[in-house]
A and B are shown apart, each in its own frame.
Chain A
Amino acid sequence: MNRIKSPEEMESLIQQIIQERGRSEKIQITLCGGTGCHAYNCQMVIDAFEQGIEKGNLSERVGIKVTGCHGFCERGVLVVIKPSGVFYQQVKPEDVPEILSAVISGEIVERLLYRDLNTKSKITHEEDVPFYKKQTRFIFGHNGEIDPTRIEDYIAIKGYAALGKVLSGMPPEQIIEEIKKSGLRGRGGGGFPTGIKWETTRKAPGEPRYVICNADEGDPGAYMDGSLLEGNPHLVMEGMIIGAYAIGSSLGYVYVRNEYPLAVKNVETAIEQARGYGLLGRDIMGSGFDFDIKVVRGGGAFVCGESTALFASIEGRIGEPRAKYIRSAERGLWDKPTNLNNVETWANVPLIINKGADWYAKIGTENSKGTKIFSLVGKINNTGLVEVPMGITLREIVNDIGGGIPKKRRFKAVQTGGPSGGCIPEDFLDTPVDFDELTKVGSMMGSGGMIVMDDHTCMVDIARYFLEFLKNESCGKCVPCREGVWQMHNILSEICSGNGKESDLDLLMEIGETITAAALCGLGTTAPNPVMSTLRYFRDEYESHIKDKRCPSGACKELVTFIIDVEKCNGCGVCKKNCPQGAIIGEKKETHTLDGNKCTKCGICFEDCPFGAVMVR
Chain B
Amino acid sequence: MSNNKTGAVLVIGGGIGGIQASLDLAETGFKVYLLEKEPAIVGRMSQLDKTFPTNDCAMCTLSPKLVDAAGHPNIELITYAELEKIKGEAGNFKVQIVKHPRFVDEEKCTGCGICTNNCMVQNKAYFNRQPAMIELAAEDAGKVNTIINNYHSQPEFLLAILQDIQSVYNYLPSDILRVVSQQLNVPLSKVYGIATYYTAFSLKPRGKYVINVCMGTACHVRGAGMILDALTRHLEIAPGETTKDMMFSLETVNCLGACALGPVIVSNDKYFGKMTVSRVEETLEKLTVSANRRDAETLRR
- Interface of A toward B, CB cutoff 8 Å: 35-36, 38-40, 73-74, 76, 217-223, 226-227, 258-261, 263, 296-302, 313-319, 375, 377-379, 383-385, 415, 418, 449, 451, 453, 457, 462, 465-466, 469, 472-473, 475-476, 482, 578, 580, 602-604, 607-608
Contact = CB atoms under 8 A, between A and B. Distances in A.
Instruction: Identify the 3 closest CB pairs spanning chains A and B, nearest first.
Output: A299-B198, A220-B216, A221-B217
B256 interface: yes
A602 B254 contact: no
Contacts of B33: none
A462 B221 CA distance: 8
A489 to B, nearest CB: 15
Nearest to B157: A316
B194 interface: yes
Contacts of A316: 155-159, 194
B235 to A, nearest CB: 13
B224 to A, nearest CB: 10
Given A40-B261, A302-B254, 10 more contacts: A36-B258, A76-B261, A217-B255, A220-B254, A299-B194, A301-B199, A314-B156, A316-B158, A375-B218, A603-B223
6 contacts: A221-B219, A299-B159, A300-B199, A383-B259, A451-B218, A604-B230
B221 A39 contact: no
> Which of A377, A383, A578 has the most chain B CB atoms closer than 10 A to its own CB?
A377
A343 B5 CA distance: 71
B278 A604 contact: yes
B217 A220 contact: yes
B300 to A, nearest CB: 19
Nearest to B195: A299
A300 B220 CA distance: 18
Interface string B266-301: 000101110011100000000000000000000000
A226 B257 contact: yes
Residue in B218, B260, B264 whose Cβ sees the most chain A Cβ within 10 Å: B260
Given A35-B271, A379-B221, A300 B200 contact: yes
Contact of A299 (B200, B264, B269): B200
Interface residues of B, number: 49
A301 B55 contact: no
B258 A222 contact: no
A300 B253 contact: yes
Contacts of A607: 226, 276-278
B218 A221 contact: yes
B197 interface: yes
A260 B257 contact: yes
B260 A220 contact: no
A300 B198 contact: yes
Given A73-B260, A227-B257, A299-B199, A220 B156 contact: no
A223 B271 contact: no
Contacts of B157: 316
Interface string B225-236: 010011001000
B201 interface: yes
Contact of B160 (A218, A297, A383): A297
A482 B55 contact: yes
A176 to B, nearest CB: 30
A440 to B, nearest CB: 23
Given A316-B157, A316-B159, A379-B222, A39 B199 contact: no
B215 A220 contact: yes
A258 B200 contact: yes
A580 B273 CA distance: 23
Nearest to A574: B278
B18 interface: no
A608 B155 CA distance: 53
B262 A377 contact: yes
Contacts of A473: 254
